[in-house]
Chain A
Amino acid sequence: MERCSRVHARNLVRWAKDKPEVIVFSGDLTGSVEITEFRDAYPDRFFSLGMAEQNMLSWAGGMAREGFTPFLHTFAVFLYRRPYDQLAMSVAYPNLPVRLFGFLPGITTPGGVTHQAIEDISVLRGLPNLTIFEVGDATDVETMLDVVQGVNGPVYVRMLRGDIPRLFPQDAPLVFNRARVLSEGTDITLLSTGICTEEAMRATQVLREKGLSIQHLHVSTLKPFTDPQVIESVRKTRYGVITMENHTVIGGLGTAVAEVMAENAVGKTLRRIGLKDMFAHGSSKQYLMKKYGLDAMALIYDIEDLTGKNLGISEDDLAAVRLETQSSIGASQLEAL
């Protein structure tokens, strides 16, 4: 598996070249959210709004009303926690084409509780007019912008930065409201988002070798959540459904799937992998994923539980898969907060 570096930084410059309506707002985190290249390439379309996110959200609403498309880049927590009222009233209510790129989703940062967006999907799924995406690899990052710009209304993207894997073919773009089918099967239906997809793929590779048939969907559109593939997959599954998200289990992917299952009267067991209604703390991504049960091993345990089978898979069995995509320590340390 290929690993890519600073994908958004280069991609945004290329993509925005012939789009004069696209402007970028920075909240004093330009280098940390990969918009230094955009600033240098198009200084007239780059606006520094400082550490003042309430003003930034409303200001974006004002410029969007005038025909510009503001692309706000900052850490996710500063797009929905601090300025929620401004997001709701100055952007979402008037249904303006403001694009919010929220970095450091969930436990992807050692920045601790202040920097970890663990309930953003839960908070924002309740906000009318807002469309929500989450990216899981370099291809998602590269191909998401056309989809985002095609939405006639505000958009929130759970973004990845720095060193990220390429899990999906470069010529298979992210499609609006359509999950990627990573494997087909009838024993277990597995739905994953964001960084959890990479983690899940490590497990599914080993699980297939053990003879399990897994329907694995990578979900990138979290709102709306009406992709018919979801219920089709759930219906045909034998043992149960598992969701896996870098987020609290309340209000995110797991909840969205539960709603679809309940509305369709599908009586299957649902297991939600994610943060169990708790905050995290500042440590490495790998450490936190293991500690809070967001990793491949957690998925193995849930599948053993659902199938009633001891699959005999150990951490060591997964390690070989893990090595192929592991970040270098040097690269992760470069990421400033």
Chain B
Amino acid sequence: MHAAEIEQDTTWQNVAKTRAQGIRRRTLALTLERNGCYLSQALSSAEILATLYTQVLNLGESLAPAVPPPLKGVPGHGVHFGEGANYNGARTASYDRFLISPAHYAVAIYAALVETGRMDPAGLEQFNTDGSTVEMIGAEHSPGFELTTGSFGQAVSQAGGIALARKVRGEPGRVFVFMSDGELEEGQTWEAVQALAFYELDNVIVYVDVNGQQVDGLTKDVMNIEPIDARLTGFGATALKVDGHDVDALANAINHKETGKPLFVLCYTNPAEGIPMLEARKPHLHFVRFKTDAELAEAEAFLASMNPASMNQKGA
């Protein structure tokens, strides 16, 4: 490798892109190993998560064990077990918070934690195994999760409460929320947006993965949510549309924050991004399983082409 190329490799953009590709590769591997996974969510959100973790979020070092210990229990009887947020570091005044709304994206979150060195790859191997916190649809004991949000539309409201508390206390840290576009169909989402605007919570920044699909098919055919930006603006938020696979656009979006308003970054994405063989399956990508021998062989071959060793070979 030439010195100039090594220099180029260390830019945050390249780090983020490499991590995004790593999120895809790790999720595809798991999809094959487990005979199915929430793959398309990782494909659409890879750059969003990689950019947030690499360049945007101000988070402390992970406070959690690199390999997640078994589930200790669920909250109750005066005991709290919500340790998932420890992977995002200390929750002190100056640090940002990162709240995951669509818990179905758990595999992408876990893969992002591995890519950013916050979790050991062995943690991802625990995915959806009995007694593990690395659940298929995460809760607040799961790595990277501060809230329990598999029921859609609740995270942005909880983020509002957290952001208001932080504002009351004068904390400089921001509250980031990662949302999916299907959640915009929930009435609660709009109750939350009006309240964020009412309390002028400009410490809230929401990244929405607008991948345009949901379980039953294309969002526009299941329940139209567009024009998202105009709706959000009408509710008193700032809304910005970006290419959700463009790391520069994703990082620069926070510069559009307006005083006294929550910012929504609408990241338009492709749920088959990076794995072209999935294009033909659109819009039925909510849960991907390779069924035929031919599909499996094609996916295995594609995964082999993605592995870091072969990528390095190609680059050399």
Contact = CB atoms under 8 A, between A and B. Distances in A.
A153 B79 CA distance: 9
A55 B192 contact: yes
Contact of B75 (A55, A85, A90, A95): A95
A95 B74 CA distance: 10
Given A58-B188, A63-B162, A86-B154, A52 B76 contact: no
Contacts of A70: 161
A89 B148 contact: yes
B76 A129 contact: yes
A67 interface: yes
B135 interface: no
B194 A50 contact: yes
A68 B153 CA distance: 22
Interface string B288-302: 000000000000000
Interface in A74-112: 85-86, 89-90, 93-95
Contacts of B191: 50, 52, 54-55
Contact of A62 (B74, B80, B158): B158
B195 A55 contact: yes
A61 interface: yes
B227 interface: no
A94 B79 CA distance: 10
Contacts of A93: 74-75, 139, 148
A54 B158 CA distance: 11
Contacts of B160: 55, 58-59, 62
B101 to A, nearest CB: 11
A58 B161 contact: yes
B187 A49 contact: no
B161 A65 contact: yes
Contacts of A152: 78
B245 to A, nearest CB: 31
Given A55-B188, A89-B154, A60 B161 contact: yes
A59 B169 CA distance: 16
A70 B164 CA distance: 12
Contact of B157 (A44, A58, A68): A58
Contacts of B78: 95, 152-153
B215 to A, nearest CB: 18
- Does more than half of chain B's interface fall in helix, strand or loop, or is it mixed? helix
Interface residues of B, number: 36
Most chain B CB atoms below 10 A, which of A54, A62, A85, A95: A62
B259 to A, nearest CB: 21
A128 interface: yes
Contacts of B153: 54
B165 A62 contact: yes
B151 interface: yes
Nearest to A88: B151
Contacts of B164: 47, 59, 62-63
Contact of B161 (A50, A66, A89): A66
A317 to B, nearest CB: 48
Contacts of B82: 94
Contacts of A63: 161-162, 164-165
Interface of B: 74-76, 78-80, 82, 139-140, 147-151, 153-155, 157-166, 168-169, 187-188, 191-192, 194-195, 198
Q: Which 3 A-B pairs have the closest CB atoms?
A: A62-B161, A58-B157, A66-B165
Interface of A: 44, 47, 49-50, 52, 54-55, 57-68, 70, 85-86, 89-90, 93-95, 128-129, 152-153
23 contacts: A50-B195, A50-B198, A52-B194, A54-B153, A54-B188, A54-B191, A55-B160, A57-B157, A58-B157, A59-B192, A61-B161, A62-B157, A62-B161, A62-B163, A63-B161, A65-B161, A66-B161, A67-B165, A85-B154, A93-B148, A94-B148, A95-B75, A128-B76
Given A47-B164, A58-B188, A65-B161, 5 more contacts: A63-B161, A89-B154, A90-B157, A94-B82, A95-B75
